Structure 1
Amino acid sequence: MMRILLFLATNLAVVLVASITLQLLGVDGYLRGQGIDFTALLLFCFIIGMAGSIISLFMSKWLAKRSTGTVIIETPSNTTEKWLVDTVAELSREAGIKMPQVGIFPAQQSNAFATGWNKNDALVAVSAGLLNRMRPEEVRAVLAHEIGHVANGDMVTLALIQGVVNTFVMFFARAVAHLVDSFLKSRSGGEGGLGFLGYFVVVIVAEIVFGLVASAIVAWFSRFREYRADAMGARLAGTGAMVNALARLKSETELPDQMPDTLRALAITKGQTRSITERLFASHPPLDDRIRALKEAAYRQ
């Protein structure tokens, strides 16, 4: 539950910061003074909403390296690192993408992630724990899963979706505040209304409500892309290896999760959600569901 709250808080924080930026730039005051131009409002919200997502996307590799302590393998120093680099190179060729950077981060839990601003300038990293405890064919399946994220352009698509939902959260929040303000003025014969502080409070409350809905939409797409990446992993590394890798991850769900919350949606775990709220806002489907989907797909072939 704490992870879900942090996920929601992060997304709401992005929207609130953007809202404060609009306020400081005088956009809200200008639009209110003009009786609000919804076309102009949508344009302003789109620019602000997309800007944060695009900046985050371009900084994703740098942030991932810093927050996880990932060490990039420039020149392999042992047989494990050489095998890791060679395997990523092979999988990349099969997926039709440029070789991404390869790194290892010092976490004892088995985990991995992929990030980058486009499919030909990406980073694929695995944890030390994953290399130590998984069999080579399972590690290869995990790498294939992450290559699947890169080949599918998931990082770019997720950033664009986040930017779009941020746009509409800010737009509809201000539209609601404008309607409330207009309603109060009509009831008082043109006097009164929300005022500056009341308008700002209504905007913030509406953004929190709409932000929850937006977070659920983004989380739904994040779960959907995990199934696609699993399918790519099965195609590149074999269904049996992909299923075994997910089963191994499931066996480690009780270990401390050392993945930073800002990168949780990019990692291959977790997904052992229980409550309806957790399922609604989880970035990953339950591992049991992912394993079942792979087996059903193999059965249909």
Structure 2
Amino acid sequence: MLRIGLFLLTNIAVMVVFTIVMNIIAPMLGIRLGSGGMAGLMVMCFMYGMIGSMISLFMSKWMAKKSTGTQVIEQPTSQMEVWLVETVRKQAQMVNIDMPEVGIFDNPSPNAFATGWNKNKALVAVSTGLLQTMNQDEVEAVLAHEIGHVANGDMVTLALVQGVMNAFVMFFARVIGQIIDRVVFKSENGYGIGYYMTTMVLDIVFGMVASAIVMWFSRFREFRADEMGAKLAGREKMISALNMLKPASQRPDHMPEGMKAFAISEGKAEGFSFAKLFASHPSLDDRIERLQKQSA
């Protein structure tokens, strides 16, 4: 919770400073920004930007179970289920977090995910395809990778980053829209045709930039989770697991669209460099190379 508070306070501070600066500069340019002022606009954008992300975060575990059909292991009924639960328990103790729920979802692709609004109230799930494709050492590494996401608080941080980016997109698009409407289109109240045209365009442009930033963080957290997987399960096991994901990355991904950023393997971050800006995962080759360099 301390991390959430500091993150939000930092970004609120940035927006407050920008608001103060613009309230000083705007009158000097003969511009009056909206009847509610910059502070009102800032509050509105911050609330709208964060509300959706926070609701998604708090509903993430329920939504993940429903969208993937994950069955939580309440009472293990096989040796595999016993091993999965005990492995997750051991890894959770190693990183000092509460025992997550452990589940299995029916999916032919080898995949796994971790989600939850709190690192002590998380869910770790693996696909039937992963259990059928990988050996025990490789599954252990995948579980360690997912525990890494939980221990690092990646689900919370990703939601906060997305919320803050949403707020900044709304805020800057509307501030610039009012300025252009007044200066270029000579509107008296700043809400003429120039405002709406500019805002619509900037929502798209700034939204693309914001998406690139969010996806950069998503790729960064995958590298960190790989490091944790190597630490908890062993570097060779983690590299072997990533290698086993390569064939699946060339086939259609059966994960629900909303869960792809939380899965261990999205697949296709290779190819045209511009496309990589919007990939939630680094390429498997990049991830393997990073692990190999760290051990060198």
Counterpart secondary structure, 2:120: coil
Residue 251 of structure 1: how far off its partner (Å): 2.4
The one-letter code of the counterpart of 1:249 is L
Question: Structure 2: how far apart are the matches of 1:119 and 1:80?
Answer: 24
1:68 is aligned to 2:72: no
Identical amino acids, percent of aligned pairs:
56
Mapped contact 1:271–1:282 kept (Cα < 8 A): no
Is the Cα–Cα contact under 8 Å of residues 180 and 194 in structure 1 kept in the other structure? no
Offset of residue 51 of structure 1 = 1.0
Counterpart in 2 of 1:291? 288
TM superposition shift of 1:201 = 3.4
Question: In the alignment, does 2:198 pair up with 1:202?
Answer: yes
Runs ≥4 residues deviating over 6 A: none
Q: 2:254 aligns with which of 241, 245, 258?
A: 258
Q: Give the deviation of 1:84 after TM superposition.
A: 0.7
Q: Give the deviation of 1:39 after TM superposition.
A: 2.0
1:244 aligns with 2:247: no
State the TM-score, normalized to the length of structure 2: 0.85
Shift of 1:203: 1.6
1:229 correspondence with 2:225 = yes
Structural mapping, 1:170-209, within 5 Å:
170-186=170-186, 195=192, 198-209=194-205
Q: Return 199-208 or 120-129, whichever deviates more.
A: 199-208
Is the Cα contact below 8 Å between 2:178 and 2:190 reproduced in 1? no
Aligned residue identity for 2:274: T
C-alpha RMSD over aligned residues: 1.7
Residue 92 of structure 1 corresponds to: 92
Q: Aligned equivalents of 2:189 and 2:43: distance in 1?
A: 29
Letter in 2 for 1:281: F
Deviations 1:194-250 (A, max 9, x none): 62x553332222111100000000000000000000000000000000000000001
Distance 2:34 2:149 in 1: 46
Distance 1:33 1:292, change over 3 A: closer
- Return closer, same or farther for 1:33/1:144 CA change in 2, 3 Å cut-off: closer
Q: Partner residue of 1:276?
A: 273
Partner of 2:213: 217
1:217 aligned partner, one-letter code: I
Point out where structure 1 has 5 or more consecutive residues left out of the alignment. 1-30
Q: Which moved more, 1:268-277 or 1:70-79?
A: 268-277
**What residue in structure 2 maps to residue 46 of structure 1?**
46
* Aligned-partner residue type, residue 239 of structure 2: V
Match of 2:263 in 1: 267
Deviations 1:46-101 (A, max 9, x none): 11111111111000001101111111111111111111111111111111110100
Larger CA deviation: 202-211 vs 145-154: 202-211
Q: Secondary structure at the match of 1:99?
A: coil
User: Structure 1 counterpart of 2:240, which letter?
Assistant: N
How many residue pairs are counted as aligned between the two chains?
Answer: 264
Match for 1:290: what amino acid? R
What are the Cα deviations for residues 155-180 of structure 1, in whole angstroms up to 9, with x where unaligned?
Answer: 00001111111110000110111011
Q: Does 1:152 align with 2:148?
A: no
Residues 174, 199 of structure 2: 8 Å contact kept: yes
Q: TM-score, normalised by structure 1?
A: 0.84
